[in-house]
Amino acid sequence: MNAKTHSLGRFDITVVGGGVMGCSTALPLARAGLKVAVFDRRGLGLEASGRNAGSLSPMIKKSELVAHAIEGYQMWMSSKDWLGADIGAHTKPGMIVAYNQTEAEALERLVTDRCANGAKIELISGKKAIEKEPQLSSGITLAAYSEVDGHGESNRTGQVFNIALDQAGADIFSHCDVQRIEDKNGHFEIHTDKGIAYSTKIVLAGGAWLEGMASWLGFSLTVQYKVNQMIVTERAPTLVRTVLGVQNGLLTLKQATNGTIVIGGGWQGHGDLENGAWHIEPEAVVRNLQLARYVIPQIKDLRVVRTWLGLEAVLPDYLPAVGAVPDVEGAYVIGCCRGGWAIGPCLGSLLADFILDRELKLPIFDPGRKIDAKPFAAAGSASKGM
C-alpha cells in the first residue's frame, strides 16, 4: 500500500483535527446526510479537548462569547439528547473570589460587563461566599456567584464523539497524519501518511496546530498557544461544592463527581510545537498548589496523583476563528478560543449551520477579520531562561 497513491475515499466534507471543535462540526454535517471524514494524528479528543479541566463557567468567558458559552453549557448538560452519550456534566454554582480591593474592583467590572451580555451573576460579600462554600479561607473581599456553571468529564470527549460519529455514518481516520492539503479548484486532496482522501469541502480544526494547517491553503492566521498545567488529586469525600476561581485568573478548582479535585489556573509548562519536549515546570506546580491551599486550606491533606499539560490555542484578540477561509472556496476553519471545550459544541453546530446554509442562532467569528491586538510571546519562549 503506497501512501502516495492509495485512495482513502471521496467525501463531501473532510474535517482535519478530531478535537471538540472538529467533532462537533462533523456530527451535524454527517447527520444531515453528507459523507463526512474526520482525521486525527492521534485519537479523537486526546489533545486540548481531553486535557482541559472540564469547566463550563460562562462567567469567565469574554463578553462576545457569553451567549455562546451559555449555549455550550446547555449542550453539554443535555449531551445525552444530542450526542447520544452522557459526558458526565453536572450543574454546580460557579464562584470567583477576590482577596483585595484591586481584585474586587476588577471583579465588579467583570460582572457588570458579563451581565450586560446575558449572564446571570450576582456579587456577594466574603461572608456570604463562605456560607455558599464553607471550606473557603477567610479574607475574601468580594465574590461573584452564578448558578449557571458546572463541569463535565472532558477526558471522555474522544470516546463520546467516536461513538456518535460512527453511528452518524462518518468515517473516522484516527492515528492518520494529514501532511498537506492541495486545493484542486473544485475539490481538495488531503495527503496523509496512510493515503489520499478527496473531498469537496474542508474544515480545518487543528487547535494549536491551526496556523500550520491554514498555511497549506495559503491563508495566514496568527495562532498562539499557552502550555497550561492541570493538577488532580486522589478521590476525597465532598469538600468543594462550587466551580471556584480567583479573580486574578491563576486558580480554577473544583471537585469532580468521582471525588477528585481538579486544579488549574493557566500556570505554564515548557515545550513548543516545533520540538515537542513538553514538560511540567515543577515550581509552577508548587505555586499553583500554594494558591489552591490558600483558597481551600483543607486540601492540604490530599495527595496529588497527576499533573499534565494541555495546549490552549488563541488568536491575539482572544476570540475564536469560526467561518470561511478568505478566498478559498469550500474551506473553513474553527478553533482557538479560551474555554474552547465548554464552547466547542456551540461553535461546531454554528459552523455546521453556516456550511449547510442554515440560519445562524448566534454570530460566528470571521477568520479573516483584522486583528489589532498584539500577539503575546509564546509561553514556551516566555519561560525561557528560567
Partner 1 sequence: MTLEQDLIVIGAGPAGISAAITASQHGLKVTLIDEAPIAGGQIYRATPQEWTPNTNGSPDQDLDDGNSLRDSLSKSNITHLTNHVVWAVAPGFEVRAVSDSKEIKLTAKKLIVCSGVTERILPFPGWTTPGVIGLAASTNLLKSQQILPSREPVIAGSGPLLYAVANAIIEAGGKPVAIADVGSLFDWVVSLPKLFAAPALLIRGLIWRARIFKARITVLHRHHVARVYGDDKVESIELMPIDANGTPLPKKKNIKIKSTSLIVGHGLIPSLEITRLLKAKHVFRAERGGWIPELDAFQRTSVSGLYVAGDCGGISGAKTAALSGTIAGLQASFDSGMITEKIFQDLYAPTESKRNKAERFGKRMGKLMSIRSGLLEGLTPETIVCRCEDITYGQIMDAVNAGAADCNEVKAWTRGGMGPCQGRTCGETIAEIVTRQVGDRDKAGFFTARVPLRPCTIDALAPVCSYDDIWNSDVAKVATAILPAENTEYKNSKK
Partner 2 sequence: MQSHLPQLAPLRRECKLPETKTDLRIRGKFQRGKPVEFTFDGITVNAFEGESIATALLAADIVSTKLSVDGYPRGPVCHMGSCQECAVRIGGRKTLACKTKVSQGLQVEIDGLKK
- Which residues between 271 and 310 bind partner 2 (CB under 8 A)? 301-303
**Spatial contact of 240 and 296, defined as CB atoms under 8 Å apart:** yes
Binders of partner 1 in range 105-134 (CB under 8 A): 105-106, 109-110
* Nearest to 143, CA basis, from 93, 191, 183: 93
Site string for partner 1, 144-163 (x = CB under 8 A): -----------xx-xx--xx
Using the contact rule CB under 8 A, the part of the chain among 45-53, 69-77, 203-211, 325-333 near partner 1 is 45-53
Using the contact rule CB under 8 A, the part of the chain among 25-33, 183-191, 248-256, 356-364 near partner 1 is 248-256
Q: How many CB atoms lie within 10 A of CB 279?
A: 11
3-state secondary structure 75-114: HHHCHHHHHCCCCCCEECCEEEEECCHHHHHHHHHHHHHH
Determine the size of the site formed for partner 1 (CB under 8 A).
72
Distance (Å, whole) CA 264 – CA 250:
8
Min separation Cβ 133 and partner 2, Å: 20
Whose Cβ is closer to partner 2: residue 174's or residue 298's? 298
Distance (Å, whole) CA 15 – CA 331:
10
**Spatial contact of 153 and 136, defined as CB atoms under 8 Å apart:** no
Q: State which of residues 25, 76, 95, 103 lies at the interface with partner 1 (CB under 8 A).
A: 103
**Which of partner 2, partner 1, none interacts with 42 (beta carbon under 5 to 8 A by kind)?**
partner 1
Strand partners, 161: none
**Which of partner 1, partner 2, none interacts with 237 (beta carbon under 5 to 8 A by kind)?**
partner 2
Q: Check residue 7 for interaction with partner 2 (CB under 8 A).
A: no
Distance (Å, whole) CA 351 – CA 357:
10
**Spatial contact of 278 and 270, defined as CB atoms under 8 Å apart:** yes
Q: What does the block give as the cell for 170?
A: 462518518
Computed over its alpha carbons, how large is the radius of gyration of the chain?
21
Binders of partner 1 in range 315-354 (CB under 8 A): 318, 338
**Which of partner 2, partner 1, none interacts with 318 (beta carbon under 5 to 8 A by kind)?**
partner 1
Q: Check residue 283 for interaction with partner 1 (CB under 8 A).
A: yes
Whose Cβ is closer to partner 2: residue 303's or residue 370's? 303
Distance (Å, whole) CA 72 – CA 288:
28
268 secondary structure, DSSP code? B
Whose Cβ is closer to partner 2: residue 258's or residue 275's? 258
Whose Cβ is closer to partner 1: residue 164's or residue 202's? 164
Distance (Å, whole) CA 206 – CA 213:
7
Using the contact rule CB under 8 A, the part of the chain among 28-36, 96-104, 323-331, 356-364 near partner 1 is 96-104
Whose Cβ is closer to partner 2: residue 124's or residue 256's? 256
Distance (Å, whole) CA 105 – CA 280:
33
Strand partners, 124: 143
3-state secondary structure of 344: helix
Q: Check residue 293 for interaction with partner 1 (CB under 8 A).
A: yes
Whose Cβ is closer to partner 2: residue 84's or residue 259's? 259
Binders of partner 2 in range 209-268 (CB under 8 A): 234-235, 237, 258-259
Binders of partner 1 in range 228-247 (CB under 8 A): 233-234, 247
Interface residue list for partner 2 (CB under 8 A):
234-235, 237, 258-259, 301-303
